[in-house]
């Protein structure tokens, strides 16, 4: 049995979106019990419950672009609406939108990174089988 098949055994519980929703909750995409993250955004080495290795399941900066586009669009839209309706001074915008944008971004990073790891598990898309030169 290869390392890849040992990390991804076929399982009825993995059908549908279960691995993705487990990832969003920060849980192991296979068993749903173990912790997916060992730090704020650091993917753990393995599941402490089922032993699945998360080596090769790190998403890197993958979730950053959707977060910036979605949250940036929301914040800019609300800032423009505030400007058109009330015309506040610039310091009000700075005082209001920088913390809101920061908190929304920090709050969305963990679930979206977990979702990306869950998608990698569901579709067996990891970096484990990569060879030098991308072959």
The chain-wide mean pLDDT, for the chain, equals: 86
CA quadruple 36, 49, 53, 1: dihedral sign: negative
Q: What is the rounded distance in angstroms from the CA atom of residue 19 to the CA atom of residue 115?
A: 8
pLDDT above 70 coverage of the chain, percent? 82
Q: What local confidence, expressed as pLDDT, does residue 60 receive?
A: 83
56 vs 36, higher pLDDT: 36
Average pLDDT over residues 98-108: 96
Taking the whole predicted model, whether its pTM rises above 0.85 is answered as: no
Which own/partner contact pairs does 97-103 have at CB distance under 8 Å and 24+ positions apart?
100/75, 101/71, 101/72, 101/75
Q: What local confidence, expressed as pLDDT, does residue 131 receive?
A: 43
DSSP letter, residue 126: -
Q: What is the rounded distance in angstroms from the CA atom of residue 122 to the CA atom of residue 59?
A: 14
Q: What is the three-class DSSP state of 67? A: helix
- The pLDDT-based confidence of 83 (bands split at 50, 70, 90) is very high
């Amino acid at each position: 049995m290869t390392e890849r098949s040992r990390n991804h055994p076929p399982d009825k519980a993995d059908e549908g979106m279960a691995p993705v929703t487990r990832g969003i909750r920060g849980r192991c995409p296979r068993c749903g019990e173990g912790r997916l993250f060992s730090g704020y955004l650091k993917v753990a080495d393995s599941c402490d419950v089922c032993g699945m290795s998360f080596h090769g399941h790190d998403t890197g900066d993958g979730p950053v672009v959707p977060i910036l586009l979605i949250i940036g669009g929301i914040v800019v839209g609300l800032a423009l609406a505030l400007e058109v309706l009330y015309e506040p001074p610039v310091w009000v915008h700075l005082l209001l939108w920088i913390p809101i944008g920061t908190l929304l971004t920090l709050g969305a990073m963990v679930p979206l990174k977990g979702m990306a790891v869950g998608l990698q598990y569901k579709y067996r898309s990891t970096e484990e089988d990569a060879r030098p030169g991308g072959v």
